[in-house]
């Protein structure tokens, strides 16, 4: 697949290499696709225990050509989505850490202060982006 296809996913060359390595590990029979069986085996080896239905749903979400298997470009889409979800989860956990009174609310101003001034080394723009990802309704609270 041409490098330009990966630009649509905003993948760095390093990510492409990492994803290709992972893809080859998942693709046990080396046929260039990951079947439901191969995906299940790979996930179990990573400590996950998905049901057959969950595996089918995962494949369906990224199976662009509808053949019931995952090719490398589809695998890249799946991995990028998983990385984005993980990033969002980490940001949510940071909000919980800064919730000093335990009421489930931290203001955007408090979060910004901690992220910029407490050794986290994030720029104001990076913090603004984090807040936008978490604060869906724009009220300044998680």
Residue pLDDT, tens place only, 39-74: 888 888 777 888 999 988 888 888 989 999 999 998
3-84: what fold?
A: Recoverin; domain 1 (1.10.238)
Measuring CA to CA, which residue among 117, 65, 120 is closest to residue 94? 120
**Sequence-ordered list of residues with C-beta below 8 angstroms from that of 96, at least 6 positions apart, any chain:** none
pTM comes to 0.54
Task: Classify 20 in phi/psi space as left (phi over 0), alpha (psi -120 to 50) or beta.
Answer: alpha
Q: CA torsion, points 120, 123, 126, 127, in degrees to nearest 10?
A: 60
pLDDT band of 34, cuts 50, 70, 90 = very high
How far are the Cα atoms of 12, 61, 88, 100, 117 from residue 121, in angstroms, in the given order? 23, 36, 18, 21, 8
* Token pair 């330009």: residue: 4
Averaging pLDDT over each range in 22-31, 77-86, 108-117, which range is the top one? 22-31
Domain residue ranges in the chain: 3-84, 98-134
Q: What digits encode the pLDDT tens for the residues 75-96?
A: 888 887 777 766 677 777 766 6
Tokens at 137, concatenated: 């309704």
Return d(Cα 108, Cα 112) in angstroms, integer.
Answer: 6
**Can you point out the beta strands (E) in the chain?**
none
């Amino acid at each position: 697949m041409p490098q330009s296809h990966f630009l649509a996913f905003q993948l760095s060359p390093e990510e492409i290499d990492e994803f290709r390595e992972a893809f080859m590990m998942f693709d046990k029979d080396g046929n260039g696709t990951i079947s439901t069986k191969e995906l299940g085996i790979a996930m179990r080896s990573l400590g996950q225990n998905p049901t057959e239905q969950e595996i089918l749903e995962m494949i369906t979400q990224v199976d662009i050509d509808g053949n019931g298997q995952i090719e490398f470009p589809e695998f890249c889409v799946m991995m990028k989505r998983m990385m984005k979800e993980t990033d969002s989860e980490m940001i949510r956990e940071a909000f919980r850490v800064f919730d000093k009174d335990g009421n489930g609310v931290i203001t955007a101003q408090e979060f910004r202060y901690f992220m910029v001034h407490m050794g986290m080394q994030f720029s104001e723009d990076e913090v603004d982006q984090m807040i936008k990802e978490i604060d869906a309704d724009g009220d300044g609270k998680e």
